[in-house]
Chain A
Amino acid sequence: MVGEKRITLFTVLNTIILTLVAVVTIYPVIYIVSISFSDTTAVAQGKVFLWPVGFSLDAYQHIFSEDRIPRAYLNTILYTAVGTFINLLMTAVAAYPLSRTHLFGRKFWVIAIVLTMFLNGGMIPTYIIVQKLGLINSIWAIVLPNAIWTLELLILKSFYENMSESLRESAVIDGASEFRILRSIIIPLSKPALASIGLFYFMGHWNSYFVPMIYLNDTEKYPLQVVLREMLIFAYAEETQVEGTKALTPESLKNATIFISMIPVLIIYPFAQKYFAKGVMLGSEKG
């Protein structure tokens, strides 16, 4: 035990390396927040390195004085809430019958589902189907084509398979229907698993830009990430004008938008970790 306490060169080096890793990881996030709270001129002069310089809430005032970003924020909340709810409902309802080992045609259903992980139509045919169904430019184009994620379905299915039979059996003896068993026994008992996959669904919806970008035409329906992407393209315009130095989008405005888009994520992050790690493990087991 005495040996463990001795400070070796290795321990010192290791601590330095790991601290550097942590700094490099969180520094950009702190930087973004600082920029958003700094004075615009200080930002333009490149004076902000770590903490806000000349604290100001101008960027936030500007954001909330216009409709665009609050609207995008509400859109994101709507898409995420509806999307995650549908995801969880569809996944839970599908995973339950699939977990029954004697289900009629079980092998066929499972193979047909797993196969789609390796074979898929890709971007263009999917777009055409969504278009044909008349979903373009509506929330359903975002929510329905991804109502079930295959990996999440398989994870929940194996969770159900490992659940104890006895509660279900007593409910069957009491004459409960399968819908009832699912609603009042299986779903309440699988809350930890649902929270774990729900987190992945939530993050997926909250952070997605590509799907809403291709399926939504009205700028009024854009979620936050698509609006952010447009701000990014403006940043590019500046970047590619080699001689030009004038910023088309003020840095503070963009970073303030980034920060408000991160708030829910940062709030759930400490709580989510546990589920997140569990989800990664389950996912990796399934390959």
Chain B
Amino acid sequence: MNTAMLNPKRGQTSKWISMLQHIKRDRQFLLLLLPCIAFFAIFRYGPIYGLIIAFKDFSVYDGILGSEWVGLEHFRKFFNSFDFWLLFKNTLLLGLYNLLWSFPFPIVFAILLNEVRNQRFKKSIQTFSYLPAFLSIVIICSMVIDFLSPSRGLINQFISFLGFEKTYFMIAPEWFRTIFISSDIWASMGYEAIIYLAAIAGIDPTLYEAAKVDGAKRWHTMRYITVPAILPTILVMFILKAGSMFRIGYEKVLLLYNPMTYEVADVFSTYVYRKGLLERDYSYAAAVGIFEALIALIMLLGANVLSRRFGGKSLW
């Protein structure tokens, strides 16, 4: 009777059998993969499943499944709140300024470094330049605050030396973006230049020699050889950065902002942290988190479309 039932679906059965055979063949590999699968299931897909609390009124006692559904209530509350436009504006502006300002520096730095003929000088400058990449964000922010301090900070000492009023930089909303972005440039320039330096190293040296024979000056080789040669790299990096524009270093914002600068510094993720983890408004914060992730995803997909159209390159 068994064979009679199996016969009409013979093809499918053999597919199942070959699958079992594959699993048996790969059993050692699959066993090795098991911790990884467990990790991704629990800590990466678990939270994605957990996002349904954004549509519920989550309470710790009822759990994710037991809590009551409220539909889009939290989203509605968020969109109607005064915070929404403020956060949207801050996130967008901070991301945009960061993209526009901190993007060119590593490129210029790499090009200038490439023009140095003395190898030892070149090497030491480069070595110094990525020291900040090894420092923690807490240390970097601590330096920023020290240097800008009105009582002892060097910058304020300099300002008063020139005869001007001391500025309370950290509590001045108009200074927040400048401080955030310039410290970011300081910390990441050397590190990001690595990629461009590698791209420059890949340029055919005969191009430079030919140009020199033709009487080209440094400036000309830089402009007509180096820059065009690394343009594809620049484009890809720009698109990558544009795609992650909304992923602002919230860990840094958390360290640098204070109630006096919330109006310009508060971004989606810091808001999620405050509402969710400090005020324990889990569901509302999760809804804000979903909204943020959605915008970030749209940005990334949009950047990828642009890249395919203009650069002929796609990130995947």
CB distance from A90 to the nearest CB of B (A): 6
**Interface pair B285/A94, CB less than 8 Å apart:** no
Q: Which of A25-33, A61-69, A160-168 has 4 or more CB atoms under 8 Å from chain B? A: A25-33
Interface size on A, residues (CB 8 A): 99
Whole-angstrom distance between the Cβ of A154 and the nearest chain B Cβ: 12
Q: Is A137 an interface residue (CB 8 A)?
A: no
Q: Among the interface residues B39, B43, B46, B171, which one has the most CB atoms of the partner chain A within 10 A?
A: B43
Q: Are B125 and A121 in contact (CB under 8 A)?
A: no
Question: Interface with B: A12-20, A51-59, A189-197, which one?
Answer: A12-20
Chain A, range 227-265, C-beta contacts under 8 Å to B: 228-229, 231-232, 235-236, 238-240, 242, 245, 247, 251, 254-255, 258, 261-262, 265
| Alpha-carbon distance between A46 and B180 when the two chains are bound, in angstroms | 25
Q: Which of B1-9, B25-33, B76-84, B93-101 contacts A (4 or more CB under 8 A)?
A: B25-33
Residues of B within 8 A of A265 (CB): 134-135
Complex: A94 Cα to B260 Cα, angstroms: 47
Residue of A nearest to B171 (CB): A240
Contact B51 A280 (CB under 8 A): no
CB distance from B267 to the nearest CB of A (A): 13
Contact (Cβ within 8 A) A228 B138: yes
Give A201-251 interface residues, CB cut-off 8 Å to B. Answer: 203, 206-210, 214, 225, 228-229, 231-232, 235-236, 238-240, 242, 245, 247, 251
Cα distance A175–B204 in the bound complex, in angstroms: 48
Give the residues in chain B near A11, CB-CB below 8 Å: 115, 117
Contact with A along B302-316 (1 / 0, CB 8 A): 000000000000011
Partner of A129, one of B47, B194, B258: B47
Report whether over half of chain A's contact residues are helix, strand or loop; otherwise say mixed. helix
Q: Which residues of A contact B47 (CB under 8 A)?
A: 120-122, 125-126, 128-129
- CB pairs A–B below 8 angstroms (13 shown): A15-B116, A19-B125, A29-B131, A29-B135, A93-B32, A98-B33, A98-B36, A121-B48, A125-B286, A129-B46, A209-B136, A269-B131, A280-B194
- A residues neighboring B (CB under 8 Å): 3-4, 8, 10-11, 14-15, 17-19, 21-22, 24-26, 28-29, 31-32, 43-44, 46, 49, 90, 93-94, 96-98, 100, 102-104, 109, 112-113, 116, 118-129, 131-133, 144-148, 153, 177-179, 182, 203, 206-210, 214, 225, 228-229, 231-232, 235-236, 238-240, 242, 245, 247, 251, 254-255, 258, 261-262, 265, 269-270, 272-273, 276-277, 280-281, 284, 287
